[in-house]
Amino acid sequence: MSPAERIEVLRRDIRSHDHRYFVLDDPVISDYDYDMLVAELQDLESAHPELITPDSPTQRVGGEPSATFPVVRHPVPMLSIGNTYNDEEIRDFDRRIRDLLGPEREYAYAVELKIDGVAVSLRYEDGALALGATRGDGEQGDDITANLRTIRSIPLRIAEEEPLLNNIEVRGEVYLPHDGFEALNASRAEREEPLFANPRNATSGSLKLRDPRVVAERPLRVFLYTLRFEDEAGALAARPDLDSHFQRLHWLADQGFPTNREARRFAAVDEVIEFCHDWEERRSTLSYDIDGMVIKVDSIGLHGELGATMKSPRWAIASKFAAQRARTRLTDIRLQVGRTGVVTPVAELEPVFLAGSTISRATLHNEEEIQRKDLRVGDTVWIEKGGDVIPKVVSADLDEREDGSTPFEMPTACPVCETALVRVGEEVAWRCGNAACPAQTQARVTHFTGRNAMDIEGFGPAVTEQILGNGLIGDVGDIYRLTREQLGTLERMGEKSADNLLGGIEASKDRPLDRLLFSLGIPHVGERAARQIAEHFRSIDAVGAATEVGLVAVPEIGPKIAESIVSFFQNERNLEIIEKLRDAGLRMELDAPADGADSGAESGEDTRALADKIVVITGTLSNYTRDEMAGLIESAGGRVTSSVSKKTDYLVAGENAGSKLKKAQSLGVEILNEEETEALISGERSP
Ligand code: IVH
């Protein structure tokens, strides 16, 4: 088989596995086997770059961030649809259809979930994805092709079962499932970035990102529901063989497009109404948000007859669900001090039941948020479940506001230790700058012992408070010095619970390096970042010795995290804690890679082209940013450092290299240009 043939086979296989995994949710091979196929394709493509095509599965994420999105005009406007809010309005819609078509005509409805996401259009030319756009104002939207290509369930090429003579356009809704939304917000919270209010905002924010590489990390999904065929001239082509909307949904699914499986066809409006009610009840069982149902006349031919008004088609209507809202009283605004000292205002609410749970508390995020909404203690407020999960205070009911209420004022001192609050730089958050603040210590201990961190069994909030309150520990390093006698002095702590707690503490010593790194509570370092760093540096000492340049070379580590890590390890108090943990016998190094075929790692020596080489990058490169070059070097096993020394193996020098180049020359360090570095990494040139 020629490389070109093998490439085609691999692409077809990978496409089919992507479809099984991302669309059908039914993979048939292991992640490892899949990765092997991709790796083989990547190798072949880098050996034969002339064979790379834009629809190759390796080409989902690419290109440089764009400054702006080109505007594209929709050949057929993307209309919106009218809304109905009760059964009577759905019956009115049905009556209008009957009046327009005449009493003799038969018709049926296709009823779908109304996905609460962002509408997009995808154009396929000769079977390959050519353009992806937002709805915009309906007439013209933004060309966000590069961002949409990163959504793995969107086919870059459609299955070729049916020869497609001309181009097609499909439309649908991009959305973020609940788990993806929560993971995204959790990692934003860790990095102290503003949170998205709901999955729809997160989706729309993600699609507007300038850098497709960042979009690729957002677990966006899509459901497609509209299909338009074009004739050779690009005009709307009739497809009498596919006259039913319902059939078209099946056609889309057959071609590999993700479609929602809950659509149904009904002949009678009563059935339509019942189906809508049914989903209003069951909406919380879905793993994504819907804000209603969409009712469409099923026959495509009738769409033409019924036509459209300026804004919306006459053949479709939305049945909107009542918002999941509740009213209650804001009894207090309390300040919560986090482990990094950030002070977050929290609404204390009169308990109220909303969409499956009782709510008595909701974050108010920050001072500005409260001022913007002018929320006051004593107000009657509307609360909503953002993404159906996280409760938020939407607004105050001004009609109910009591006389003499006063606007919220942010206290100037920490509610716990009374240290003056400070604002750092541009941040909206106020912080307690006292690292020894009991609230911060408590939050750090809670973080350290938590399920995702060191996972110390028995170290719950009450025990933590007792242990801290009695001064048994001053920081997390002291946890491992706790004795049976000390614990015995605590109220309600019997011998048995003391032993259990000590057992939990002992067991936690065995947690892997990435958990330990995460547990330390380094600002901005979440679980993912901790994993990347642990894998890369392999010991806590190497992390502590890393420079910002070395850190940003690690995948997914940006300058903010890098700076935070460096400053964490410059702090004497933190170093003392690490020494205590070391003395206690915690794992300070990465375990040897696990055996077994799945790991893909060799237990022996690192055979990558730049294994153990220390590399410095200087000057302006023409084909890469420095970060990208650092990434390449890292992936070949090299370490990137910031300054040239006797230990430096290579200096990669771009245009206008200055003092580092001179120093490297004087020390006899080997100097490489971009091409030479590429050759070294690809193995074409030996070290
Ligand atoms: S059909 C001309 N079907 O709701 C009809 N829209 O208010 C085009 N939406 O812009 C829309 N789920 O963003 C249709 N199953 C569905 C939908 C859906 C969500 C959104 C879409 C549209 C808006 C209309």
Q: Is the CB of 79 under 6 A from ligand 1?
A: yes
* Probe residue for ligand 1, chosen from 225, 261, 320 as the CB with the greatest number of ligand atoms within 8 Å: 225
Shortest-distance Cα residue to atom 21 of ligand 1: 119
Q: What is the dihedral of CA 545, 549, 553, 558, to 10 degrees?
A: 100
Q: Is the CB of 114 under 6 A from ligand 1?
A: yes
Q: Which atom of ligand 1 is nearest to the CA of 308?
A: 2
| Model confidence pLDDT, tens digit, residues 181-213 | 888 988 887 776 777 877 888 999 999 998 999
Please tell me the least confidently modeled range out of 465-474, 500-509, 613-622: 613-622
| Cα(293) to centroid(ligand 1), Å | 9
Of these ranges, 568-572, 616-620, 626-630, the one predicted with the greatest mean pLDDT is 568-572
Task: Determine the pLDDT at residue 592.
Answer: 53
Retrieve residue 370's tokens: 């409260």
Query: Average pLDDT, stretch 609-613?
Result: 84
Q: Is the CB of 313 under 6 A from ligand 1?
A: yes
Shortest-distance Cα residue to atom 18 of ligand 1: 114
| Model confidence pLDDT, tens digit, residues 654-668 | 888 888 898 899 999
Task: Determine the pLDDT at residue 655.
Answer: 85
Integer CA distances (angstroms), 405 to 328, 382, 408, in order: 17, 17, 9
Q: Which atom of ligand 1 is nearest to the CA of 116?
A: 19
Alpha helices (H) in 489-594, listed in sequence order: 495-508, 513-519, 527-537, 540-545, 548-552, 559-568, 572-583
Cα Rg, the chain, nearest whole Å: 30
Whole-model pTM? 0.57
Task: Determine the pLDDT at residue 252.
Answer: 94
Structure-model confidence comparison of residues 225 and 187, the more confident one: 225
| 496 labelled catalytic | no
Task: Determine the pLDDT at residue 564.
Answer: 93
Residue 193 is given by DSSP the state: P
User: Has residue 596 got a pLDDT over 70?
Assistant: no
Residue 476 is given by DSSP the state: G
Measured distance CA(379)–CA(215) in Å, rounded:
40
Shortest-distance Cα residue to atom 9 of ligand 1: 114
Measured distance CA(205)–CA(364) in Å, rounded:
21
Q: Is the CB of 473 under 6 A from ligand 1?
A: no
- Confidence tier at 598 by pLDDT (50, 70, 90): very low
Structure-model confidence comparison of residues 249 and 613, the more confident one: 249
Bridge partners (DSSP) of residue 579 are none
**Catalytic pick from 114, 296, 613, 660?**
114
Shortest-distance Cα residue to atom 4 of ligand 1: 114
Contact predicate 386/377, CB 8 Å: no
Contact predicate 405/438, CB 8 Å: no
- Confidence tier at 355 by pLDDT (50, 70, 90): low
Q: Which atom of ligand 1 is nearest to the CA of 112?
A: 15
Distance of CA 281 to the CA centre of its chain: 28
Shortest-distance Cα residue to atom 14 of ligand 1: 294
Q: Nearest 5 degrees, angle CA 268-CA 273-CA 279?
A: 130
| Cα(53) to centroid(ligand 1), Å | 33
| Model confidence pLDDT, tens digit, residues 243-272 | 999 999 999 999 999 999 999 999 999 999
* Probe residue for ligand 1, chosen from 290, 294, 317 as the CB with the greatest number of ligand atoms within 8 Å: 294
Task: Determine the pLDDT at residue 162.
Answer: 57
Measured distance CA(75)–CA(248) in Å, rounded:
20
| Model confidence pLDDT, tens digit, residues 121-170 | 999 998 899 999 999 989 999 999 999 999 999 999 986 655 566 789 99
Residue 620 is given by DSSP the state: B
CA atoms within 13 A on the CB side of 605: 5
Task: Determine the pLDDT at residue 447.
Answer: 93
- Confidence tier at 601 by pLDDT (50, 70, 90): very low
| Cα(480) to centroid(ligand 1), Å | 57
Task: Give me the phi and psi of 660, to 5 degrees please.
Answer: -65, -35
* H/E run at residue 680: helix 674-682
Shortest-distance Cα residue to atom 2 of ligand 1: 79
Measured distance CA(103)–CA(97) in Å, rounded:
10
Measured distance CA(88)–CA(91) in Å, rounded:
5
Contact predicate 158/256, CB 8 Å: yes
The average confidence (pLDDT) of the chain is 89
Contact predicate 610/636, CB 8 Å: yes
Please tell me the least confidently modeled range out of 387-396, 424-433, 536-545: 387-396
Task: Determine the pLDDT at residue 595.
Answer: 39
User: Has residue 645 got a pLDDT over 90?
Assistant: no
User: Has residue 603 got a pLDDT over 50?
Assistant: no
The length of the chain in residues reads 687
Query: Average pLDDT, stretch 587-599?
Result: 59
Q: Is the CB of 429 under 6 A from ligand 1?
A: no
Query: Average pLDDT, stretch 351-368?
Result: 83
- Confidence tier at 331 by pLDDT (50, 70, 90): very high
Query: Average pLDDT, stretch 343-369?
Result: 87
Structure-model confidence comparison of residues 460 and 517, the more confident one: 517
Task: Determine the pLDDT at residue 388.
Answer: 46
Task: Determine the pLDDT at residue 593.
Answer: 47
Q: Which atom of ligand 1 is nearest to the CA of 226?
A: 1
Q: Is the CB of 83 under 6 A from ligand 1?
A: no
Q: Is the CB of 549 under 6 A from ligand 1?
A: no
Query: Average pLDDT, stretch 466-470?
Result: 93
